[in-house]
Structure formats: C-alpha cells, structure tokens
Chains A and B, each alone.
Chain A
Amino acid sequence: MASPISIASLTKTYPGGSVPALKAVSLDVAPGTFLVLLGPSGSGKTTLLRCLAGIERIDSGSVGIGGRIAADGRAHVPPEQRDLSMVFQDYALWPHLTALDNVAFALRRRRLGRAECRARAALMLERVGLADFARRYPNELSGGQQQRVALARALIADTGLILCDEPLSNLDADLRERMRVEISSLVREAGATTVYITHDQAEAFALADHIGVLEEGVLVQAGTPEEVYNHPATPFVARFTGLAGELRVRVTAHGGDGTLEVVAADGAAGRLPALRPAGAAPGSAAAAPGPDGADEGRTLRPGDGAVLAIRPTGVFLAHAEADERHLSGRVADVAFRGRGYEYAIDLPGLGRLTGVFARHRANRGDEVGLRLDPEGCHLFPADIAPSADTASPTVPALTA
C-alpha cells in the first residue's frame, strides 16, 4: 500500500560542515504520488532522499512515512525498518550476487522461503525483460540491464515507498529515454509513492506528478509540473526549469487585469506587451513572490526595476511583416532541429536569447524581429533576481 510522506521543518548539517545541507524543509506527499525533487548539484536533493531512506540522520524537524514518525531529531528508525526500497545512482548491485540473487535479496524482509523468493525474483526479472539474464553477474550486464535489475530489486518487495537517486544519470541519451518510460510505467503499476531526484528538468517534467525544486537546501517551490513551469515562484526556479533568457526591464504603468506596462531597461527595444508579475493570477494584484516562493512577495509599482524571465515558449521569431515585433536583434546562431529551427538572437544592449524557435530559416547575421507571448514571460522584481544581468539562460532551455 502506498505510503504518504510528511516532512516538517527538516534541517540537516553534515558533521564538519558549516552550511546546512537542508534548511527547514517541509513537504507533504499524498500516497501514490510520483514526486520529483529537482535541483542543481549541492542543492540538498540527495540529502533529502537519504534522510527519507534513513541513511542520514536528521538534526531537527521530523520525517513521517506511512503515518508513522521515522525520524524526529531524537528518534531514528533505521533504514531496514522503514519498509521502503531504493534505486541507487550507481545501482549498487552487489557484484558477487547474480541478477536473480540481487533481486531476491530485497524479499528477505518478507520472511518468505528461499525458493519462493527466487521464484518471485525470476518473475520480476521477466517483468523487466531480463528473464534470460537471471544467472548473470552485474559485470556481465549492460548499463541498461543493470539499471533494470536495480529497478526490479526496488519493485519486488512491494514497499509503500520507492526512492530513486538519479537512476538515469549514467545512461546514454537514447537508453535514458527508454528507461524513463519503463520506470514511469512500472512504478505507477506498483502503485507506490515514489520520490525521484534529478537535476535534469526535462526528465523531471516528463516523470512527475509533483515537482519540488530545491535551492541551497531550501525547498523553493512545490507543485504540479504545469504550476512550476507556468508559474515559477522565484527567478531561480524559472532559470532552472528552462529560460531562453532574461531582460532587465522597468515598470512604466499599471495595465488592465493586474498586468503591468514595461519597457526594456535601456529603452532601446520596441514596445513590450503588458505582463502579469510572476505568481499573480489573472485579475489579482500585481504582486511578485518573495525569494522563498512565499506569497508575501512585494508589489511591483511604476518606476520599479524588474527582470523579465522569458521561456523558450514565450518568444518567437516574427515571420511576416505583419507580425507584431516586441524586440529586434541579429541571428547569432541557428540550429536545425528537424521540425524547425532554434535560434540564438543577440539583442543589442540587452544580451542574448537562446532556444528561440521558428519554423522558417533565417541566416546568421540576419536582422530579425521577435514577438513575446505574455504566457511564457515571468516578471520578477529586480532585487530578488540578482544574477539576471544578462539574457543568457542558467540551464539549457526546454525546447518549445
């Protein structure tokens, strides 16, 4: 039966470390949810997973699994008593055991007979397509096969919680895509609650029911993939989930329906569309969220400096002369992507936008016009987006 997870004010500092790896993280996960924890290296996602597993002890706060307290700063339920399973980044298959024995090991806690364990392990291996590889040792399996054995080991004991520690990071791009689909379907078939960590935002959006974004030990946003993508709580979340670029802008006036009129900071660009501040729902006040993603964000007013975070889905190459042009620039680079072209556009005095999609071809050096879609643009107060001084994205942008 799937286990709910309840994490409250979890704080963890490693011995000898001066900076907490996790700072007061709170999170509730409904049973059967596929939660993806997303964040860059050092953001604390692996620590959070290991605290859930019981491999790491927490300093304060509490972790509840399946309605029972697993750790609360004083008590610590050891990993073997938490009734969970885990897929490790390097798979951690015991090299002296066959694939079958590796999988069967996870059933020992169910106190079944040896023959029963092996029979079930064989069935599980068949389910992951490795029936013919049961007697092979890990070193005799390919990376993808090892990954599947690790997955079978995690699934076989039918635990309420499955933890996955970047299980696809060691695979090549093609295999990663195939294994992603397998993990998604097999884990959902099992019905367990799953916590999966990755630093790959495409993988996160593809797998998750819910996403939690971590930055320097703080859970800055949690929500559905759509919420996180369409309404990033902070500039960091916007950058980490894929931007074409950022522009420094200035608020000039209030528009209708909670929107704001903005112009590029240097005033050189054309007229930008009316934009809604990030986190503000249509019709609400023009308030932007604070750095922790909380609702107490302050209001943007005319005259304020702001940062416009532009998703790849929020900017297009103007095709016809009739198209409205919000910005103009020069093609710095063009890449053919099969269904169209992806451009890097230099905006004079404003920086560069990348991942700008168009179906038609323009050549390097061509002057082009750009059209912004307000739905793909997020406006943040300049003082909570300190690093947004260029139009370069922090991570590779999601393609449109």
Chain B
Amino acid sequence: MIARVTPGGATPRDPPAHGGAARPPIPPWGRRGASRFSPVGLGRLAARLGMPVFWLILLAFIVLPCACFLLLAISPRLFDQGSQWFTLTYLRQSLTGSTAVAIVNSLWVSSAAAVIGLAVGFPVAWLAARTTMPGRRWVSGGMWLALLLPSWLPALGWERLVEQDGVMYRLGLNWPWATHLIMGPFGVVLLLGLRCVPFSYLAISAALNGLGQEFEDAARVHGASRWQALRLIVPILAPAIMSALAIGFAESISDFGVAATLAYNSNFTLATYALYAAIGNFPPSFPLAAGMSWLLVAAVAVPLFLQARALRGRSYAILSGRTRQAVRRRLTRFEAVAAGSGLALFFLIMLGIPAFGAVSGSLLGDYGSSYTLTLVNYQALFEQSGLIGPLERSLLYGLIAATVTVFLGFIAARLLSSARRTKSTGVMDYVLLASVALPGVVFGAGYIFAYNLPIMSTLHIDLYQTVQLLIIAYIASSLPTNARVLVGSVSQIQGSLRDAARAHGAGAVSAWARGVLPVLSRPIMMAWLYTFCGVFLELPLSQLLYAPGSPPASIAIEDNLSNYHFGVGMAQAVLAVFIAFSVVAIVLGGYRLLAPAGWRRIGGTVRG
C-alpha cells in the first residue's frame, strides 16, 4: 500500500487538528450529477445504444440485402426461386456463354485500365510533387474535379462527340476511324484508364509528400546516379503503387457508368452491365445475377486482399518529425515545355474533349447536319415539364444522403477507432471493409431482391420502388467508403484534446465541439462533398431502384439520350455538372469565409 504523505504527517481522512467538524467526504466521480437526463447521462445512454443501433442499420441495409442476394446464387430454394437447397449451377452458368465473355472483358479491361491509370498517374504525381512543371498547382484541383464526375458523363461526352451524326461529323470531320476507335474496347479501356488516373495520382502524391528528400540524397552520396536513385526509391512507394493498382482495378471492374453507356453502345459487354441485364431482361434471372455477383465481388475483393497481404509485416514507414522536405528539380526549358504540354494533353483528353462533346452537343439541335449553335435545349429544360424536376430531385437526394451518410460514417469511424476494440467493432470493421468491395450494381440488385421478398410485405416493410428505398440505398452504399475515409482522421484525434477541454471546465458537448470538431471539420466537409457528388449523379442504384415517375438526374439524362433527344439530354448533363460544382464551390467558399481561421489551418497543406 502506498502511503500518502501530507504536511505534518496527517492523512487526508484525519479530522482537523483544531477539533472542528470534519468536511463531508467527496462522493466518488461518476455518481455525482450523472442523472438520467444530464448530458453525461445522455452521453452514456447514447454510448450504450450506439453500437446495437448501428449494427441494426448495418444488418438491415447492408448485410442482409447483399447476403440474401449472394446466398440466392447457391440456395435458390431458400428464397422460393428454385428447387435446390444448394447448387453451383448459377455460378457455373455465369462462367459460360455471354456472361463469361462479359466477365473476361471486364477482367482484361480493368487490368489494362489500372495499368494505364498508374502509368499516367505516377509520372503526373511525380512531376507535380518533385519538379517545377508549369501548371503543377492546378493538377490536384483537376484530379479532384475528375474524381467528382461520374464515369458515365465523360463517356457520354466522348460518345456524343464521335458517334455517327455526332458533333465530329456535324463539324464536317468525317473520321470513321475515330468512331471505331472510341466506340469499342480501346475507348472503353481509355475512359476507364483515365478514370483510374486520379486514384493513382492521389495515392502516389500522398506517398511522395511523405517521402523526404533524404532517401534520394542518401543514394546519391553513396554513389547512385539520379536515375539509379530513382530506381532505388520507387520500391519505397510500393504500398502506394499497389494501392493505385488495386483501387484502379476494383473501380474499373465495378464501374457501371461506362459499361451502361459507351461499352453498351459499342456492343462491348462488361460484367456489370451483364448483371444488370440479367435482372432487367425478361424473364429476369435473379439467381444468375447473384452468381455473377459472386464473381464480381471476388474480382474486386481478391486484389484488395492480395494488396493487404503483400504489405502485411513490412513497414514502409518513411515519415518522421524531421523528414526533410523534398527539393523540386528545376526543369530545363525543354523539359518544362514537354511536361506542361503532356499535362495539358492529359487534361484535354480527360476533361476537355468530353466537356467539349457535352457542351457542344447541348448547343446543337437534335437533327440535321448544320452546325448552328442554339440555346433551344436549355430553354426547353426550363419550359418543358419534367426536364428540370429530375435535377431538383437529385439535388435533394444528394443533400439528404450526404448529410445522413457523413453523420453515420462519423459514428462508425468513432466506433472503429475506439481504443477499447471489441469483437463487435472488429466484425464491423470487416463488414464495412467488405462492403467497400461491393459494386453498386450488386448492391442495387440485392436491394431489389431483398425488399421484394414476400416476407417484407408480411412485415409491412413496403419500401420497394419508393424514393425512401433509393435514398437508403444511396446512404448504405456510400457509408462503408465514408466510414473508412473518416476513420483515418478520427483515429488521429488524441483523446487528450477532449480531455483537456473537459479538465478546463468545458461540458461534454462543448468539449467535443471546441476540442475535436475543429480538427475534423475539413475531413468531414470533404467526405460530405464526395458523397454528395457521388449521389447527385449516381447511376447503377438509380437505374435499378428509382421510383416510377420520379427519375433522378442520371436516369432522366439517359432516357433522353436513348430516345434520341441528344440536345436536351446533354443540356441536362451540363446543367447537372454545373449544379454539382456550384454546391462544391458554395461549400468550399463558405468554409473558407465562415470557418474560424484556426479550423482552416488544421489539415491544410502548403504546397510549393
């Protein structure tokens, strides 16, 4: 026992020497004031209920719909979709005929796209981070812009540009070779590859920013030439390179935007579209779609798993408190011109040409061979009924879904980053990680199947073909990524930030708002924007789950284009992008103007 020594040798419980009444003992911490309705009591209640409620949400809206759907492929009897309790027929079936072709197409196209993404993203990231390349300050913004655009928009832009009777022909450029090139596997690989570039760029840039100059300097002073030094330190970026490849492959193989537009119109079937067609065609075959889902999920999960496994047990830790900031290499005039031109060409192909295709398409009349610019399509948007409504609808869906998703994502991140890690949080971690690997089209198919089951009517859960189910699906599909993104920021929060505020007199809510929220404000805002943009122009879930009579923006645009209303469809697309970027600008501008200066400093990066 450790004796507590006080001046004069008295122990704290001794009565005062002057003989007065002893002060009443102070009650132990925790009991005092922790009434049921005090902030502390509410906090405890929330802490106790948080995990079960969160699990309920996960089970109802992520695990069960997807699990039921995947289970259907091997046990159709379980859901009254066939006679067998266990069968591999549908898995085998999905590996034969046209579905097998679609899967093989998806595999090679996605592999090629991931490699293209890395081949372009790596040098761009390197040049932007380590050289004086002109325009390097714009690269990051351009990449985020590309990331916020759904893949089907550039695909439609390219398509409208090069298709028969497209902008190219109406400008008098009779280039059938360009049509064949873009409207085929090359175009699909090119577009998906370009789509992978921002992911590669961000992964490599993050690693490069942490890679101090000293590794290269150490190689140079120990005899390596500039080229040898580069070769030596590239493997240090292995985690980023593997991440870029795995994410690129996963994004490409689960992409539905290019599959449902450019690839479909080029008669080049990809797996996600084949899965959609298995449900959308008559008669629908849910078990076959479920069988294909297994293959898609495996195709996404395997590279992610291999990446994680390859890095396990190895440390590529390069950050330290004294990491020396890398020195930018001054490019010669020729190098600067070459690098700047390459960068301009990249953004031209990635954003400029599809933007030109979309904007010019929206400014041309639907028929005829003349090249006369007109605003008639934009006029129609505001005058004809039913054209602007989908955009307003998607805006509302995006605002609701982003807000709820970020709220739930934050809770999930808090649970996952908790110091007291339980089995429950461990399983939740796996569930959320596995859900990231679920392609949107599988998610949507799972929702159609699960919320169409007879038991749902019995339970009076009649959500099928309602706006509510679509919004829930948006939230549920965005939640895993959101939680994974936020967990990084939340786990960096030191408990001492909140504890210090509490110790200095702040209440629980005030301590969180003053000690923690400022640190997380920027990641939360970025997560909100990413979710909003993703939902606002989302395609696969919208395609499968939209409520009849209430199409969201992506469906309305698709419908107009497939019904040969090219001008109006493109005008809708251009306006949609304008709305999305306006929201981004308002949020970022609002943060810059309204957030306290201290909030903006945290997490901000200084770039040379």
Contacts and interface: CB of A to CB of B under 8 A. Distances in A.
A is bound by B: yes
B316 A80 contact: no
A85 B323 CA distance: 19
B235 A96 contact: yes
A95 interface: yes
Interface string B97-132: 000000000000000000000000000000000000
A176 to B, nearest CB: 16
Specify which of B221, B223, B226 lies most central, judged by the most chain A CB atoms within 10 Å of its CB: B221
Contacts of B224: 80, 105, 108-109
Contact of A86 (B212, B221, B238, B322): B221
Contact of B315 (A54, A82, A95): A95
B315 A139 contact: yes
A133 interface: no
A109 B222 CA distance: 8
B173 interface: no
A84 interface: yes
B325 to A, nearest CB: 11
Nearest to B223: A109
Interface in B221-264: 221-226, 228, 232-233, 235-236, 238
A84 B218 CA distance: 11
Given A89-B322, A90-B323, A92-B214, A54 B220 contact: yes
B217 A92 contact: yes
A275 interface: no
A137 interface: yes
B233 A78 contact: no
Interface size class of A (residues with CB under 8 A): 20 to 34
Given A95-B318, A96-B235, A96-B238, A106 B220 contact: no
A106 B223 CA distance: 7
Nearest to A153: B222
Contacts of A55: 217, 220-221
B322 A90 contact: yes
Interface residues of B, number: 28
A307 interface: no
A157 interface: yes
Interface string A37-56: 00000000000001001110
B243 to A, nearest CB: 15
Contacts of B219: 94, 105
Contacts of B320: 90
Contacts of A50: 217
B223 A108 contact: yes
A80 B212 CA distance: 19
Given A89-B322, A92-B215, A80 B317 contact: no
Contact of A80 (B220, B235, B236, B318): B220
A92 B316 contact: no
B316 A106 contact: no
B504 interface: no
Nearest to A156: B222
A88 interface: yes
Interface in A184-222: none
B221 A85 contact: yes
A94 B222 contact: no
26 contacts: A53-B221, A55-B217, A55-B221, A79-B217, A80-B225, A80-B228, A84-B221, A86-B217, A89-B214, A90-B212, A90-B320, A90-B322, A94-B218, A94-B219, A95-B236, A95-B316, A95-B318, A96-B235, A96-B238, A105-B224, A106-B222, A108-B222, A109-B222, A140-B315, A157-B223, A163-B221
Task: Report, nearest first, the 5 A-B pairs whose CB atoms are least far apart.
Answer: A109-B223, A139-B315, A92-B218, A79-B220, A92-B214
Given A88-B218, A96-B235, A96-B314, 12 more contacts: A80-B222, A80-B224, A80-B228, A86-B221, A95-B315, A96-B238, A96-B316, A105-B222, A105-B232, A106-B222, A137-B314, A139-B317
Interface of A: 50, 53-55, 78-80, 82, 84-86, 88-90, 92-96, 105-106, 108-109, 137-140, 153, 157, 163, 170
